[in-house]
Structure 1
């Protein structure tokens, strides 16, 4: 998959920008605050979800603008077919409502995943293995979404049913047993679909990682665990989930939340070479495992969907030693597809294998080179 054109209007510090890029590496360099990460964030909004910063939509509007923003891109995944036009943004009259268009027609945000697959790695993700289980679940679900675009629909419906069940449990007078049973059936069906997709993704990713060497990037061993930290060896069945939710009504009512189910699962990782838990590894080892994981997942997507995803790597090169940086560039260039990289120094992108599209970013202005 290749973003052949990207246009921004009133997004973050970019009043207007129009970029053309080819497949291969796209290198963005410029000082801190110039707007490099803003470009990656704009691209990330061309997939389902809240983007790589998970910021409120209104916060993305350029200061002094009229209250809305627009992002437009042309995506080429098959040279024999015309590019697909993807657009998203908000209008001043409805700043909380995200607008999505595909080839000019209105569409749901979840439909974006049918046309563009994105993976990203940012400095904020460096502590993924030591942060909350919720952050790791979101990371895992982003990996799933790149392989199975319908995963977002199941996630949205699961969350809606869980919120509705929670409201009923909080008000015993309104807790109609039949309605609770109906909501728990929805939770069970969508929860089982979520879990099955996660299990398939981890199986594919583990198989891909098993083919990778332990160097130059550390290789992680991945496991899905439940809320108590026990390894999940069997998928959730809808009947078992329905029984689980029904049995825990009193517990969940007292806790004010659903205390068990797929929304409580976590992603566990071990350093393959040492067997040490990722949370106990050095910062450099954790970053190397994340990079290894993202690169292997790109291979999974390419194998499953017949087109390599677009990679967004924010300030990754600056934190790698020269040998690993060179190995990363060689791998990105050799595997095909498109990868967008940012860095503060132009020298970080010297001697990159081609093809390379280069941009200099300064004060919201974008220039070739």
Structure 2
């Protein structure tokens, strides 16, 4: 029996973006029709602010991880809040989404005018990003790599962020019980069950991501490419994807943890290891240029993986991605992006950085809080 042809991935596109009282924008709009969108202009003009606004159309605090209060337009009273709105086209079906902050309240999310949760946004568009702040990922702190790992996992497992938050709350409660001298084992049992439930789900999602992304990276390397292959791994105490086993570890380690005043075992202790495959060495020992190329390769491989697993193309935000690439590698990057089929928003100080894109991109000049179509 012949198998049915696989269904082509749904193309996801942000066709319209609106910013209100957000960062340096009083009010700004952008309409995009092509797969690639270029934002160029002088440093400090607000290019990254546009990408940050788009990143808030996904769960979490966006690509800068700033407080929501910090996003209110500079000089405006905090009570005015801010808003980001967009229209997302998925295979011809349009969805209106928006998020924002009003006064001292919490973040608001709406989908087609109805109240929604941040987790619901992943079902509309999976938004991935690469920023200059991530350049030191391989040599920086463990928490930065863990956060990067969780952002990658979130694109495949929409409830990963919710589970991570629930795990953190339960862990803080357990640590507080140690601090307060609580001795009732029943109290610990209840909290540890919650930690085991959410922590094992986190560990399973991370492991699933690493296995699938390594496989995707290997395929990409076998078919050629201009960015080096990275091999990802989990090191340190990665927790346990087996809930009952993790629960036993928590019970058995209760005395040790009480003495330390904190939980010494679990997914909050994991580290992401990355190896430069061709050179067979840790990414942390690679040159700055090699580390940048490895990071780009991981992000491109992840975008391809997201498309294959979800059968939907993601939206990529690449901040200053071309600044330190030579012309040949820039052209190769743009060709790779074209092959991915994902919509890509890129920033740079000069439009000439994107010459190799030709007429494949919508171009916008960003200056003094204004976004203007260019050419």
Match of 2:175 in 1: 166
Deviations 1:41-60 (A, max 9, x none): 11111111111111111111
- 2:199 maps to what in 1? 191
Structure 1 residues 207-356: aligned runs within 5 Å: 207-213=215-221, 215-227=225-237, 236-356=241-361
After TM superposition, give the deviation of residue 351 of structure 1 in Å.
3.1
Deviation at 1:299, TM superposition (A): 0.5
Distance apart, 1:176 and its partner CA? 2.5
Contact preservation (8 Å) 1:25, 1:354: no
- Does structure 2 conserve the Cα–Cα contact (< 8 Å) formed by 1:204 and 1:300? yes
- Answer whether contact 2:126 2:155 (CA < 8 A) is retained: yes
Summarize deviations over 1:172-220 as a string: whole Å, max 9, x none: 1x34211110110111111111111111111110110001237421111
On the 8 A contact 1:100/1:106 being kept in 2, the answer is yes
Show the counterpart of 2:69: 58
2:163 corresponds to which residue?
A: 154
Contact 1:24 1:354 in 2 (8 A): no
TM normalised by structure 2 equals 0.93
Kindly report the root-mean-square deviation, in angstroms, between the aligned alpha carbons of the 2 structures.
Answer: 1.4
Structure 2 counterpart of 1:69, from 82, 86, 101: 82
Q: Tell me which residue corresponds to 2:7.
A: none
Give the secondary structure class of the aligned counterpart of 2:14: strand
What secondary structure sits across from 1:116 in the alignment?
A: coil
Are the equivalent residues in 2 in contact too, given 1:311–1:339 (CA < 8 A)?
A: yes
- 2:290 counterpart SS class: helix
Whether the 8 Å CA contact 2:167–2:198 is kept in 1: the answer is yes
Instruction: Please say if 1:119 is aligned against 2:128.
Output: yes
Query: Contact between 1:75 and 1:84, CA under 8 Å: does it hold in 2?
Result: yes
Is residue 101 of structure 1 aligned with residue 114 of structure 2? Answer: no
Structure 2 contact 38–364 (Cα < 8 Å) conserved: yes
Q: 1:133 maps to which residue?
A: 142
Retained in 2: the 8 A contact 1:224–1:265?
yes
| Unaligned 5+ runs, structure 1 | none
Over residues 110-159 of structure 1, what are the superposed CA-to-partner deviations in whole Å (9 max), with x where a residue is unaligned? Answer: 22112110111000000001111111111011001111111112111111
The TM-score, its normalising length taken from structure 1, stands at 0.94
Q: Deviations over 1:65-103 (max 9, x none)?
A: 242000001111221x2x111111101242xx1111111
Mapped to 2, the partners of 1:235 and 1:245 lie a distance apart of: 11
Distance 1:48 1:240, change over 3 A: same
Aligned residue pairs total 359
Distance in 2 (CA, whole Å) between partners of 1:147 and 1:23 is 25
What is the DSSP-based 3-state SS (H/G/I as helix, E as strand, rest coil) of the residue aligned with 1:26? strand
Instruction: State the 1:343 CA deviation.
Output: 0.1
What residue ranges of structure 2 are gaps of 5+ in the alignment? 1-11
Give the secondary structure class of the aligned counterpart of 1:279: helix
SS of structure 2 residue aligned to 1:7: strand
Q: Distance in 1 between matches of 2:53 and 2:252?
A: 44
- How far is 1:235 from its partner? 5.1
Structure 2 CA distance, aligned partners of 1:202 and 1:23? 32
Contact 2:199 2:240 in 1 (8 A): no
